[in-house]
Amino acid sequence: MNDKNSLVGDEEILGLDVGAAILQAAQMQIRRTDQDLLAVRIDSQEFDDVSVRRAFPLEAADRYIGFFDSDGNELGILEDPEGLEADSRAALDQQLALTYFLPKITDVTHIGEEFGVVHADVETTSGARQIEIRGIRSSIRVLSRNRALVEDAEGNRYELSDFRLLSKLTREILGL
């Protein structure tokens, strides 16, 4: 049985569109154009102004990368970018870093709450920041037993790799 309603392997289990083309790293070349856009060659076809999206940005960030043309049409999914040539991998990694800027909070140096708004001075993997968090219940999402995603009032997102390492007061203010 090979119809759309039957299980077709890992793609079905992972919830991927089984109609999407699975791209082979060995048949791809990825580079930046002179206009600093992402260009992708798949076999003999060249696509300029390509965007990339992670199918599972938090759970499997380095696997299942979707490629889309300038009109938003899916070109296919690259299951594992490890097989890309070094230059192609570097161009892909650079684009993913731009698309998914997600610094990690490494320390909370000061935190306070006033009128339901949390003000915090934090150290991140991208330097010191002063953040404001409104609506704790909707702005902090627990991802696992010790990991959380924090969105500040400006829409910037930060990862808390292990919130158990925060002080008790900080965890209480953040509702963790």
Domain with 82 in it: 10-99
Same domain membership, residue 151 and residue 80:
no
Structural domain count, the chain = 2
pLDDT one-digit tens code per residue, 105-143:
999 999 999 988 999 999 999 899 999 999 888 899 998
Give percent helix, percent strand, percent coil of the chain, each to the nearest 5.
20, 40, 40
**Inside any domain, residue 4:** no
Q: Which residue, of 45, 72, 99, is where some domain finishes?
A: 99
Q: Exposed, middle or buried, 1 (CB in 10 Å: 0-12/13-18/19+)? A: exposed
Same domain membership, residue 22 and residue 71:
yes
Same domain membership, residue 128 and residue 71:
no
Same domain membership, residue 109 and residue 95:
no
Same domain membership, residue 134 and residue 56:
no
Question: At 100, is the pLDDT very low, low, confident or very high (cuts 50, 70, 90)?
Answer: confident
